Amino acid sequence: MTEQQTGQQAGQQTDRRTGRLYGVGLGPGDPSLVTVRAAELIGKADVVAYHSARHGRSIARSIADRYLTGGQIEEKLVYPITVETTDHPGGYRGALDDFYEEASARLAAHLDAGRNVVVLAEGDPLFYGSYQHMHKRLAHRYPTEVVPGVTSVSAAAARLGSALVEAEETLTIIPGTLPEEELAARIASADSAVIMKLGRTFPAVRRALERAGRLDDAQYVERAFMDGERTLPLAEVEADTVPYFSVAVLPSKVAPLDLPEPDGPGEVVVVGTGPAGPLWLTPEARGALAAATDLVGYTTYLDRVPVRPGQVRHGSDNKVESVRAEFALDLARRGRRVAVVSSGDPGVFAMATAVLEAAGEDPYREVPVRVLPGMTAAHAAASRAGAPLGHDYAVVSLSDRLKPWEVIARRLRAAAEADLVLALYNPGSKSRTTQVGLARDLMLEYRGADTPVVMARDVGGPTERVRTVRLADLDPAEVDMRTLLLIGSSQTRLVRRGNDTEVVWTPRRYPED
């Protein structure tokens, strides 16, 4: 245990003896799960304090009962309100703040008199516990020790007999009081999760689980290690039966050794991973990648996705999109949950079109297909440069592998005549070396030589480089497949700011003719 003696006031109190404050965790409910240290302190305390509602009953007090000697002073800290309805001028939060101030003042009076004070806390004192409000107000003023306890999270996992996390999985603790949209996002992005504070929040939590595609995985634990305990699949729980002392658990996704092959309907989810690594993933995309039994994609993009035990990865070359799409759909026909990994946004020069094209033909017409968006390269590059896409813009791929150069040139000319900012994807590669020069020369027929061109390479990656050049100075030799070009309109501005940085932006208003 660590002891806290911090703050100037604590230093000033060395000339007089004060009591010691203890925040004591009692575990989830069973008195036999109280730690030896907690039992010792409760038995020796001069004052035992505990929170309760107006009815006066305290679960913490009932857990600690066998360790009380009968000679202690008991301080019952009764909440003035238990719902967010009050006539307090500061509202619900104001009423609670006043209560915490008054309660801490009562405990401070005992400490100043030299009495040791134990504040009982269900679970762990610093894990969503009421004790923490006393700790924040008193720990810097008095010698303080916090005794940890078994949390409801650990208790729920023990009762389910399921691992919470394994290998490189992460555990997310989510309060059910969050807005439903936020709940769904957090659940979708989690490997494993425990959702606390159910009760009246249960309907929203259930809907969020369903929206995130995790309802079938969710387990429900009520009053773990207490009277009235029950566990069951969350989908089977009636909302009006859920008390506050219950949690929803999404256990580890690592497959058991005897996991059978999927026998239900499969699906294909085309997932946009953004331009680089995990920081560019949306919560929805992260959740879909974690839920998949199989990942299919270009090997370079698959390498950006964390390896998960039990998940099968199918890498391939970058030039076999249609073969990759059919392979993914065939896996889904056999009941697999398949994530097709695509960089950027899968609907922008990427895998969504290939998958949907194949899914429109037999024998794949009945396979469910979803497309999850991602940050596309043009927007990522624009954010690094400033706001070059602040007005109308066009997106064109310079690759002539799937369309003739004559079509590309016609579209570039149309965009130039319309004075649109241009985002140019796939500008060059080892086998395509002429397109950038041709596009530059065409644009110079319509744009000034000083038009800003943003050259963005490997945005978000370890070799990121973003710089701005004049259109006339655009050098094709400096452009490769990992580069995206943003060519400004006649209105696009390049501004040097006070910190010697350059910012490119296109005004939102266009001048009248």
Tell me the C-alpha distance between 418 and 491, whole Å: 12
pLDDT of the residue at 261: 59
Question: Closest Cα to residue 207, out of 231, 176, 170?
Answer: 176
Of 307, 341, 372, the last residue of a domain is 372
Phi, psi of 299 (to 5 degrees): -55, -40
Q: What is the mean pLDDT of residues 321-337?
A: 94
* Per-residue pLDDT, 13: 44
Within-domain flag for 474: yes
CB 330: neighbour CB atoms within 10 A? 17
Residue type (1 letter), 98: D
Neighbouring CB atoms inside 10 A of 484's CB total 26
Whole-number mean pLDDT of the chain? 90
pLDDT digits (tens, 9 = 90+) for 451-477: 999 999 999 988 999 999 999 999 999
Q: What is the pLDDT of residue 1?
A: 45
* Co-location of 141 and 185 in the same domain: no
Domains identified in the chain, total number: 4
Q: pLDDT category, 255, cuts 50, 70, 90?
A: low
Cβ neighbours, 10 Å, residue 254:
18
341 and 386: one domain? no
Same domain, 365 and 398: no
CATH number, domain at 177?
3.30.950.10
Identify whether 256 is part of a domain.
Answer: no
Please report, for the domain that includes residue 132, its CATH number.
3.40.1010.10
Q: Does 12 share its domain with 146?
A: yes
Please report whether residue 258 resides in a domain.
no
Between CA 143 and CA 22 the distance in angstroms is 9
Per the structure, the complete domain to which residue 100 belongs is given by: 3-150
The percent of residues above 90 in pLDDT, for the chain, comes to 73
Higher-confidence residue of 315 and 10: namely 315
Q: Are residues 46 and 72 in contact, defined by beta-carbon separation less than 8 angstroms? A: yes
Residues 144 and 9 in one domain: yes
**Does 138 lie in the same domain as 199?**
no
Question: Based on the domain organization, do 115 and 10 belong to the same domain?
Answer: yes
Residue 326 tokens read as 């059919």
Average pLDDT over every residue of 167-172: 87
- Model pLDDT, residue 5: 44
pLDDT at residue 383, rounded to an integer: 96
Question: Distance (Å, rounded) from C-alpha 479 to C-alpha 486?
Answer: 12
Instruction: For tokens 């979708």, name the residue.
Output: 188
Instruction: Tell whether 426 is covered by a domain.
Output: yes
Contact 246, 223 (CB under 8 A): yes
Q: Is residue 513 part of a domain?
A: no
Asked if residue 333 and residue 272 are part of one domain, the reply reads: yes
Query: Which residue is it, tokens 């009815």?
Result: 55
Q: Are residues 32 and 46 in the same domain?
A: yes
Residue 195 belongs to a domain: yes
How is residue 356 annotated by DSSP? H
Residues 6+ apart with CB under 8 A from 458: 276, 464, 465, 482
3-state SS, residue 76? strand
pLDDT of residue 87: 67
- Reference 294, options 344, 331, 253, 254; nearest CA is 331
Q: Which residues contact 379 (CB under 8 A, 6 or more apart)?
A: 389
In this predicted structure, what is the pLDDT of residue 7? 41
Q: What share of the chain is helix, strand, coil (3-state, %, to 5)?
A: 35, 25, 45
pLDDT of residue 324: 94
* Number of CB atoms found within 10 A of residue 12's CB: 10
Which one is predicted more confidently, 370 or 263?
370
User: How many whole angstroms from its chain centre is CA 472?
Assistant: 44
Coil vs helix vs strand at 52: strand
Give the model's pLDDT for residue 181: 92
What local confidence, expressed as pLDDT, does residue 441 receive?
97
13-17, 307-311, 365-369 — most confident range = 365-369
Task: Classify residue 429: in a domain, yes or no.
Answer: yes
pLDDT at 307: 84
Q: What pLDDT shows up at residue 508?
A: 93
Q: What tens digit of pLDDT does each residue of 39-66 get?
A: 999 999 999 999 998 887 899 999 999 9
Nearest to 458 by CA among 307, 317, 280, 287: 280
- Model confidence over 100-140: pLDDT tens digits? 999 999 999 999 999 999 999 999 999 998 999 999 999 99
Instruction: Name the domain boundary from 219, 250, 281.
Output: 250
DSSP classification of residue 12: H
Sequence-distant (6+) residues with CB within 8 A of 179 are none
For residue 85, is pLDDT > 80?
A: no
Q: Do both 29 and 164 map to the same domain?
A: no
Cβ atoms of 376 and 276 within 8 Å: the answer is: no
Residue with more model confidence, 53 or 436: 436
**Mean pLDDT calculated for residue range 422-444:** 91
Q: Report the distance separating Cα 471 and Cα 312, nearest Å.
A: 46
Residue ending a domain, choose from 150, 181, 210: 150
Residue 26 has pLDDT above 60, yes or no: yes
Residues 354 and 382 in one domain: no
- pLDDT of the residue at 382: 97
- Quote the CA–CA distance of 143 and 138 in Å, as a whole number: 9
Q: Is residue 255 part of a domain?
A: no
CA-angle at 450, arms to 433 and 418, nearest 5°: 80
Average pLDDT in the 172-185 region?
94
| Residue 420, helix vs strand vs coil | coil
238: left (phi over 0), alpha (psi -120 to 50) or beta: beta
Residue 11 has pLDDT above 60, yes or no: no
Residue 117 shares a structural domain with residue 67: yes
